[in-house]
Amino acid sequence: MSTPRGQFSSRFGFIMAAAGSAVGLGNVWGFPTQTASNGGAAFVLVYFVLAFLLAYPALMAELIIGRHARANVVTALGSLSSNPITSFIGKGVGYYGVILAGLILSFYTIVAGWMLSHLGHGIANVAGMTTVSQWLITSSITRDLMGSVIFAGLTMSIIASGIEGGIEKWSSRLMPILMVLLVLLIAYVFTQPGAMTGLKVYLLPDLSQVLKPSLLISALGQAFFSLSLGVGTMLIYGSYVDKNENLPKLGAIVTCVDLAIAFTAGLLIIPAMYVAQHSGTVIFNEAGELITETGLIFQVLPSLFTAMGNTGLWVAIAFFALMSIAAVTSSISMLEVPVSTAVEKTRLSRLAATLIMGSACLAISVLIIFNFDLLFVFVIDLTTKYSEPLLGIMFCIFAGWILQRNALLQELKQGNAAIESSLFWKIWPWYVRVVCPLLIVATFAQSLS
């Protein structure tokens, strides 16, 4: 416990790190495809409303607990109350978060490894190395292992360098690059035939779909995953925020950046699909639905890049670089959850903790790769569908019921002296106590039925 804790050195650094965690494969891949298969702009509308009504308050719960406790997720939840039972439950919830973050990282690493392989494919193509480039896009255990090991290595090397020198430095460098790549790709795709058809599908709402329960559930799940909620990542990032910062404002900025990038990614992906259709690629499956899962990223879009000829080589590199960057700024936030816990709960150095925790997660990735059909979808469902909402409720309960109202107010007053008379203080405390848990339970129950 004697190691001094790290801290983000600036507001910009925190915003880039937290937005980097939030903006990931969930935004660039999940959001556009869910939009396409759930009534276009109707989904965007519902998603935005839910993100502000439910995900933002839950994000605040994590940030506030984190900054108040200034500790890893286990110690933080265990120390909110002096009651031994509550403290015991808090620690249990904390350990569950640590395991969950590790499990999400394990499957995320495999998917990110695919992105790296496709990036390598583009580079090998430009360099004229045809055999290598072909191998990189041919599915095999060796290729998947290689991609995962390299990606895990990248994640570990950033985390080993600490908060300011690793997470903040790399998020602040990579997030602007991600935004530039996104805009350049959109500008290019918009000049291609077919793009405008896609834009219409994306932006014209099919309002008959707005209140469909399945749409609401997908939108809520997507909002939670996208804001990295329910695993303690935002809690631990919150614990590195300076006490002088205005937390509700920072949380709102992070939510807006996450939404803006998800929306912008939709402007790229959906029109690109229709450009692909225009150039002869099949974009609907036999059931007449848009191809969304792995088929979209690894078949539809690559065949579009091929149809674009020489320019397509560069577009492919830019696209998979964008995906890889989105993945790494999220994966570091996942690994920080177990690493911060190990550093603060044992005598391990940050380097040793990173190597041990990172290798343990990689070992699970390897296990999944060798038992892909059995484990891949199972781990994704277990973590994102069931565990994240459950833990999300626990974080809201701990912030709303266990953390004393007075302690909450004191925490928020640092960085915003006038908070007591603000709208946030009038609404958020009871909202996070009652409305958030109830709504999450309702959605959770629906998704089980």
Query: Which residues sit at the interface with ligand PHE, rule CB under 6 A?
Result: 21-22, 24-27, 104, 225-226, 228, 231, 233, 330, 333-334
Does residue 284 sit in helix, strand or coil? Answer: strand
Distance from C-alpha of 287 to C-alpha of 269, rounded to nearest angstrom: 21
Q: How far is the CB of 154 from ligand PHE (least distance, A)?
A: 15
Give the burial class of 37: count Cβ atoms within 10 A of its Cβ; 0-12 exposed, 13-18 middle, 19 or more buried. middle
- DSSP lists the bridge partners of residue 290 as 284
User: How would you class 353 by CB atoms within 10 Å of its CB: exposed for 0-12, middle for 13-18, buried for 19 or more?
Assistant: buried
Q: For 265-326, where are the E strands, in sequence order?
A: none
Is 18 or 160 the residue whose CB approaches ligand PHE more closely?
18
Q: Which is nearer to ligand PHE, 225 or 444 (CB)?
A: 225
Q: Which residues contact 203 (CB under 8 A, 6 or more apart)?
A: 40, 41
Q: Name which of 195 and 335 has its Cβ closer to ligand PHE.
A: 335
What minimum distance in Å lies between the beta carbon of 171 and ligand PHE? 13
CB of 227 to ligand PHE, least distance (A): 6
Helix, strand or coil, per DSSP, at residue 206? coil
25 close to 111: Cβ distance less than 8 angstroms: yes
Residue (26 or 437) nearer to ligand PHE, CB = 26
Give whichever of 125 and 383 is closer to ligand PHE, judged by the CB atom: 383
Distance CA(194)–CA(446), nearest Å, equals 37
Least separation in angstroms between CB 23 and ligand PHE? 6
Min dist CB 226 to ligand PHE, Å, is: 4
3-state secondary structure of 391: helix
Q: What is the distance in angstroms between the CA of the first residue and the CA of the last residue of the chain?
A: 45
CA-CA distances (angstroms) from residue 56 to 97, 174, 254, 428?
19, 24, 9, 10
State the amino acid at position 1 in one-letter form.
M
Distance CA 385, CA 405 (A): 31
Question: Shortest approach of ligand PHE to residue 27 CB, angstroms?
Answer: 5
CB of 404 to ligand PHE, least distance (A): 28
Nearer to ligand PHE, 13 or 26 (CB): 26
**Measured from the CB atom, is 230 or 312 closer to ligand PHE?**
230
Q: Which residues pair with 284 in a beta bridge?
A: 290
